[in-house]
Amino acid sequence: MSFANLAEITGHYANAAPQRPAIRVDGAVWSFADLHTRVLKTVALLRSLGVKPGDRVGWLALNHPDYITLMCACFRVGAVLVAINARLVAREIAYILGDAGVDVIVSETAFLPLVEDARATTGLKTVILLDAPCEGRLAFADLVAGQTPDEAMPAIAPDDIALQLYTSGTTGFPKGALLSHRQLLGTIEKGRLTGEAWGTWDEDDVALVAMPLFHIGGTGWALHALDAGATMVILPRPDVPGMVAAIAGERITRMFAVPAVLLAICQYLESAPADLTSMTELYYGASPIPLDVLRRSMAAFPNAAFLQCYGATETCGTVVYLPPYDHDPAGNQRMRGCGKPFPGNDVKIIDGEGNTLGPGEVGEICIRSVSVMAGYHNKPEATAKAVVDGWYLSGDAGYLDADGYLYIHDRVKDMIVSGAENIYPAEVENALHEHPAVADCAVIGVPDAKWGEAVKAIVVARSPVTPEELIAFARERIAGFKVPKSVDFIDVLPRNPSGKILKKDLREPYWAGQDRRVG
C-alpha cells in the first residue's frame, strides 16, 4: 500500500484490518481500530489546546505506545512532532524547546523537573504528563479518553514537515532536521524497491521497537512497521533481558539494533539461552560492527537475514544497505563496508574542492536521495553547508569500490559515535572550559570494545585538578552519554599555523593498529 502522506496510515488499517494487532505492550493489545480511535481523540485534545498546522508539539519520555498515538495525531493535525532525547540535561532541553518553539509537550513525570526548569526560559505553555497524575494534572491517556474523536484533517501536502529531530551540533548547539512526509515515506519505500525478499513486510510480521524513539533509528523503524500494517512490540528502552524475553515470547520477526546491543544480547545468551528462531530479518547499523560480533549475532539468530544500514537523521535513516547475500559468517571484504545505495539513491565521494573521486579514493561521502532533509530549522547557513545541489554532505570520509559499495574510512568532521549516539566534541569542550582549572582542552573518540568509541578529554590544566573532578563537573552540564569516560593531561595541545587543534594527531596513538579510524 502506498500512502500520499503519513496521516493516512492509521485510518487505512482501521478500515482494512480493524482487529489486526497494531501494538502489544505489557500484556495489552491495541488493534488498529483502537489505535486509530486514540489518534482521533488525541487530535481533538491537541486542537483544544490550540495546536494548529505547522505548530511544534514536544515529546520527552522513554519509548511508549502513546508516542505512536501522539505522532500520528500530529500528522493528522498538520503539526510537527519534536521528539527530545531523554538523556539530555535541563539546559539542552531548554535550548531545543526554545529553538523549536514548542508550546505543548508530553513528558514523563520523571522528566518534569527538567521541563519545568526549561519552561522558565522558553515559550512552553502546556505540559501533559504521560504516565501518572501529578499536582492535580490528568495523565495523557486520561485526557485523551475524555475527548470526542475528531476526524477532520486539513490537506496534508507531501512536502509538509512531519518530524523535527535534533542532531548534535558542531558549534555546541543541536540542529533540528526537518523531515517531510515525502522524505519519510521515501525511506520506507526503499526496501520494496530492491525487489529482494527481505524488503517486503508481511502483515503477520511482528516488529520489536526497543531503540529510542527520539532517534531516527527508533521512529523510522516504527514508521516502517506502521506503514506495513504490522504489529509493534514496544519496550521502554533497549534493555537486553527484556529484549530477549520479548523476542522469544512475542515471536518477534523483525528488529533493528545497534552493534553494542547485539553484543550485549550475545553475552547475555551465554548464561541465559533463549529461542530466537522467530527472527527472520535483523537490521543493524548506526555504528560499525566488529566481525566477531556479527558472527556471534548470526549464530544467535540462526533464521535471520542480516542487513547493515547506513544513513543519518538528515537522510531520514538508511540510504545504503548491505544485503543478506553479502553476509558470510567466515567474513568477506564487503562486510568491512556499509553496502550499496538503495535504488534511486546516489552516493559519491568528493575531495576538499568538491571534485568527484574515483573508486578507492578516500574523501567525503555525499548522498542524493528522496530522503534528504528539507533543511535545519531556522539555520539557513548550516543547511546551505550541509545540502549542496541536492547532495547531503555527510561529514564521513570513505570510498567506493569498483562495484559501488561504500566503505567508511574516517570522519571529515570530529563527531564521535558511541553506542550509536552522535557526540560532537565542541559541546563537551564547551562544558569543560567552564571549569576554572581548565586552560585548554580537546575531546576525541578512542576505541571502545563495547560502544565502538568512548569520549576522551585531553586537558591542559592551569591548576591542580583530577580526572574524576572534571568528569563530575561535565556530568552536571551535559547528558551522561556525552561525558568523558577518561581524561588525560598534556602540557600543550598541538595546533596548525591557523590555531586549529590537530585532533588527528591526538587520536593517532589511541587508534594505532586499528583497520579504520572509527569505532
- Residue-wise pLDDT for 329-350, tens only, equals 888 888 888 999 999 999 999 9
On whether both 81 and 150 belong to a single domain, the answer is yes
Most confident range (mean pLDDT) of 97-101, 256-260, 449-453, 510-514 is 97-101
Say which DSSP state 501 is in: B
Q: What is the pLDDT of residue 27?
A: 85
pLDDT at 116: 87
Q: Are residues 70 and 56 both part of a single domain? A: yes
Task: Kindly report the CATH number assigned to the domain that includes residue 431.
Answer: 3.30.300.30
Considering the domain architecture, whether residues 365 and 493 belong to the same structural domain is answered as no
Helix (H, G, I), strand (E, B) or coil at 380: helix
**Mean pLDDT across the chain:** 91
User: Is residue 323 a part of any domain in this protein?
Assistant: no
pLDDT reading at 518 higher than 60:
no
Alpha-carbon torsion angle 333, 334, 335, 341, nearest 10: 160
pLDDT tens, position by position, 408-434: 876 676 778 888 787 878 778 878 988
- Verify that 370 and 427 share a domain, yes or no: no
**Same domain membership, residue 143 and residue 48:** yes
Is the per-residue pLDDT at 403 higher than 70? yes
Write down which residue in 156, 180, 195 finishes a domain.
Answer: 156
pLDDT for 333 = 84
Find the domain containing 504 and state its range: 416-511
Exposed/middle/buried for 381, CB within 10 Å: 0-12, 13-18, 19+? exposed
Query: Is residue 377 a part of any domain in this protein?
Result: yes
Claim to verify: residue 484 and residue 401 sit in the same structural domain:
no
Is 335 part of a structural domain of the chain?
no
Q: Does residue 498 sit within a domain?
A: yes
CATH of the domain at 151: 3.40.50.980
How many structural domains is the chain composed of? 3
Prediction pTM value: 0.86
Is 57 domain-assigned? yes
Q: Is 236 left (phi over 0), alpha (psi -120 to 50) or beta?
A: alpha
Chosen domain end from 156, 188, 211: 156
What is the pLDDT at residue 497?
54
Same domain, yes or no, for 405 and 422? no
**Residue 255, pLDDT score:** 97
| % of the chain with per-residue pLDDT over 90 | 70
The per-residue pLDDT for range 347-390, each reduced to its tens digit, is: 999 998 999 999 999 899 999 999 999 999 999 999 999 999 99
Residue given cell 554532505 in the structure block = 393
- State whether 88 and 106 are in the same domain: yes
Residues 407 and 426 placed together within one structural domain of the fold? no
The pLDDT-based confidence of 450 (bands split at 50, 70, 90) is confident
Q: Are residues 389 and 442 in the same domain?
A: no
Task: Please determine, for residue 81, whether its predicted confidence score (pLDDT) is greater than 70.
Answer: yes
Burial-class residue 99 by CB neighbours within 10 Å (0-12, 13-18, 19+). Answer: buried
| Confidence grade of residue 132 (pLDDT, cut at 50, 70, 90) | confident
Average pLDDT over residues 74-95: 93
- Examine residue 221 and state whether it is found in any structural domain, yes or no: no
290 is a domain residue: no
Q: How far apart are CA 410 and CA 30, in angstroms?
A: 44
**pLDDT for res 140:** 95
**Which of 131, 156, 181 is the last residue before a domain boundary?**
156
What is the rounded distance in angstroms from the CA atom of residue 78 to the CA atom of residue 220? 19
In a domain, 138, yes or no: yes
pLDDT in tens, 238-255: 999 999 999 999 999 999
Whether the Cβ atoms of residue 422 and residue 168 lie closer than 8 Å to each other? yes
- What pLDDT is recorded for position 134? 64
pLDDT tier at 57, thresholds 50, 70, 90: very high
pLDDT at 199: 94
**Domain identity same for 13 and 134:** yes
Question: Both 353 and 491 in a single domain?
Answer: no
More confident residue, 92 or 14: 14
Helix residue ranges per DSSP H, 216-258: 216-228, 240-250
Residue 454 has pLDDT above 60, yes or no: yes
Chain mean position to CA 89:
18
